[in-house]
């Protein structure tokens, strides 16, 4: 992966946090004394508050390393550079991590649908009403990509882009928790109009972070991201299954670049699994996804169709059965039910055996087996279609026999029936062998 880190001209050299706070505080105090000073309203701590807008040198703000938008890109870097999974965690004030984050953000600023970099390059103007949103320490909460863009433009041509030497920044003066920051970020970055900027892995990882690290409920996350709680839960389960697949099947924990281009397979699987109540069937759906994922290279463009066919409710049981036969998987011995367990009375019987599905092996280079499974499905589908057609012939011939033959079409009807009789006799001969 050669292009995951772009070349940049801007040199990161962050100022100490105490110095940043002192500069910001001084400018805010001067702002408060100016009756003509600009303010903007922002959503903070579940309320809309007015924040002072001040001009700051572009070298002062620091990037938010725990930015949900770059979570997947950070995973790319960690994976490709063989870094610790905690490489970006708790390193907000480190130059190295800030330098890498700058590159990741600059790439995102050019790759996004809106192409923030291109627009700023063309306009040469950073409007006050589009101020970058900072906390009291100068950390960017909203506007990370814009900051990376103006920094690169100014570094490339300080004369042409002199307007970017200082940029408008809105300052939140309240003390903010990690949850507060995520709420603000979600409110301004992942609303419907911004969803296209988030890749599917970043969004899922961000939801996992909010649920596991911040302790937010699915409902709380959904209210900020403008998602239904059930959709948030779907993404949470999705990234859990991706992590299992990468660790157990690929043997590459957190190797998200390996599955990044499989979005349609994983997203459609997540939707099917979310609609499936039977735990065994749900597990079977996820296992087929993992099997297709690990063999996607050999399946090529067919991978999505394989997953779709295998997970079809009319085919899933057949796939599980073939899979189990192939690897001689047998069910665990049935345990005696506890009559005192109230769930025994309400649980719906499943056509799947959970112990069998749990033991189904997921192996690389199994594309021939996958093709064979699909060929068997096609054969059974054709067989079922032939049965249905034979039944229709019987029904229609019975109806025709009960009707009076019109004189004007008698010869044509006789010709067709004689030809049909010949075909039927041939089919009977085939079936009788």
Is residue 307 domain-resident?
A: yes
How many C-beta neighbours within 10 Å does residue 198 have?
A: 19
Q: Are residues 415 and 324 in the same domain?
A: no
pLDDT attached to residue 334: 65
Contact 102, 117 (CB under 8 A): no
Burial 248-265 (b: 16+ CB within 10 A, else e): ebbeeeebbbbbeebeeb
Is residue 218 domain-resident?
A: no
Q: Are residues 37 and 147 in the same domain?
A: yes
Please give the Cα distance from 154 to 160 (Å, whole number): 8
Q: Are residues 155 and 294 in the same domain?
A: no
> Per-residue confidence of the chain (433 residues) as pLDDT tens digits?
445 688 999 999 999 999 999 999 999 999 988 877 889 989 898 888 999 999 999 999 999 999 888 888 899 899 989 999 899 998 999 999 999 999 999 998 987 566 899 999 999 998 888 899 999 999 999 999 999 999 999 999 999 999 999 999 999 999 999 999 988 887 776 554 444 456 899 899 989 999 998 899 999 988 878 889 999 999 999 999 999 999 999 999 889 989 999 999 999 999 999 999 999 999 999 999 999 999 999 998 889 999 999 999 989 999 999 999 999 999 887 655 554 554 444 445 678 899 999 999 999 999 999 999 988 887 665 555 556 666 777 777 777 777 777 777 778 888 888 878 877 777 787 667 6
Q: Are residues 159 and 29 in the same domain?
A: yes
pLDDT attached to residue 191: 54
Is residue 228 domain-resident?
A: no
Strand order from edge to edge, sheet including 47-57:
39-44, 47-57, 166-171, 132-134, 140-142
pLDDT attached to residue 197: 53
Burial 25-56 (b: 16+ CB within 10 A, else e): eebbeebeeeeeebebebebeeeeeebbbbeb
Please give the Cα distance from 39 to 31 (Å, whole number): 9
Q: Are residues 321 and 408 in the same domain?
A: no
Please give the Cα distance from 58 to 166 (Å, whole number): 6
Is residue 84 domain-resident?
A: yes
Q: What share of the chain is helix, strand, coil (3-state, %, to 5)?
A: 60, 5, 30
Q: Are residues 82 and 122 in the same domain?
A: yes
Is residue 343 domain-resident?
A: no
Facing residues of 132 across strands?
A: 169
Q: Are residues 104 and 31 in the same domain?
A: yes
CA proximity to 280, closest of 250, 316, 235, 239: 316
Is residue 51 domain-resident?
A: yes
Residue 371: domain span: 269-332+352-376
How many C-beta neighbours within 10 Å does residue 82 have?
A: 6
Is residue 88 domain-resident?
A: yes
Facing residues of 51 across strands?
A: 40
Q: Are residues 408 and 323 in the same domain?
A: no
C-alpha dist (Å) from residue 288 to 251, 311, 350, 373: 17, 7, 18, 12
The residue from 142, 157, 177 where one domain ends is: 177
pLDDT attached to residue 2: 42
What kind and span of H or E run contains 141?
strand 140-142
DSSP letters, 164-185, are GSEEEEEE--S---HHHHHHHH
pLDDT attached to residue 413: 81
The residue from 177, 202, 223 where one domain ends is: 177
Q: Are residues 412 and 311 in the same domain?
A: no
Tally the domains of the chain: 3
pLDDT attached to residue 414: 81
Contact 19, 128 (CB under 8 A): no
Please give the Cα distance from 69 to 279 (Å, whole number): 32
Q: Are residues 325 and 407 in the same domain?
A: no
The residue from 132, 153, 177 where one domain ends is: 177
Is residue 220 domain-resident?
A: no
Q: Give the chain's length.
A: 433
Q: Are residues 322 and 407 in the same domain?
A: no
Q: Are residues 167 and 22 in the same domain?
A: yes
The pTM for the full model equals 0.71
Residues 6+ apart with CB under 8 A from 254: 75, 78, 79, 85, 243, 246
Please give the Cα distance from 249 to 251 (Å, whole number): 6
Coil/strand/helix, residue 57: strand
Residues 6+ apart with CB under 8 A from 233: 218, 274
């Amino acid at each position: 992966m050669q292009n995951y880190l772009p070349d940049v001209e801007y040199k990161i050299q962050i100022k100490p946090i105490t110095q940043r706070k002192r500069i910001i505080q001084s400018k805010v105090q001067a702002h408060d004394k100016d009756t003509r000073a600009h303010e903007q309203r922002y959503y903070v701590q579940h309320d809309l508050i007015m924040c002072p807008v001040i001009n700051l040198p572009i070298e002062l703000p620091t990037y938010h390393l725990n930015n949900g938008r770059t979570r997947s890109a950070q995973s790319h870097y960690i994976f490709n550079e063989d870094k610790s999974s905690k490489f970006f965690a708790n390193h907000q004030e480190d130059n190295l991590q800030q330098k890498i984050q700058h590159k990741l953000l600059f790439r995102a600023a050019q790759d996004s649908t809106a192409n923030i970099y291109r627009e700023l390059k063309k306009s040469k103007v950073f409007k006050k009403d589009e101020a970058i949103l900072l906390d009291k320490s100068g950390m960017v909460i909203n506007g990370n990509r814009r900051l990376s863009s103006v920094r690169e433009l100014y570094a490339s041509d300080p004369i042409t882009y002199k307007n970017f030497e200082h940029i408008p920044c809105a300052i939140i003066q309240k003390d903010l928790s990690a949850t507060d920051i995520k709420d603000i970020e979600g409110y301004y970055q992942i609303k419907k109009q911004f969803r296209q900027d988030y890749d599917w892995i970043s969004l899922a990882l961000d939801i996992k972070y909010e649920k596991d690290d911040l302790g937010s409920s699915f409902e709380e996350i959904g209210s900020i991201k403008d998602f239904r709680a059930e959709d948030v839960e779907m993404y949470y389960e999705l990234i859990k299954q991706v992590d299992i697949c990468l660790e157990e099947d690929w043997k590459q924990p957190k190797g998200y670049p390996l599955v990044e281009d499989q979005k349609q397979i994983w997203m459609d699987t997540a939707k099917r699994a979310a609609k499936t109540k039977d735990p065994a069937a749900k597990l079977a759906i996820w296992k087929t996804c993992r099997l297709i994922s690990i063999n996607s290279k050999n399946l090529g463009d067919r991978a999505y169709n394989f997953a779709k066919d295998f997970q079809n409710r009319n085919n899933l049981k057949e796939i599980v059965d073939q899979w189990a036969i192939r690897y001689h998987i047998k069910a665990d011995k049935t345990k005696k039910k506890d009559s005192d367990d109230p769930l025994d009375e309400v649980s719906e019987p499943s056509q799947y055996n959970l112990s069998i599905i749990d033991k189904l092996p997921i192996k690389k280079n199994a594309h021939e087996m996958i093709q064979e499974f699909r060929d068997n499905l096609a054969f059974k589908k054709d067989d079922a279609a032939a049965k249905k057609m034979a039944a229709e012939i019987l029904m229609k011939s019975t109806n025709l026999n009960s009707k009076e033959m019109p004189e004007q079409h008698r010869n044509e009807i006789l010709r067709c029936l004689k030809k049909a009789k010949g075909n039927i006799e041939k089919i009977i001969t085939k079936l009788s062998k």
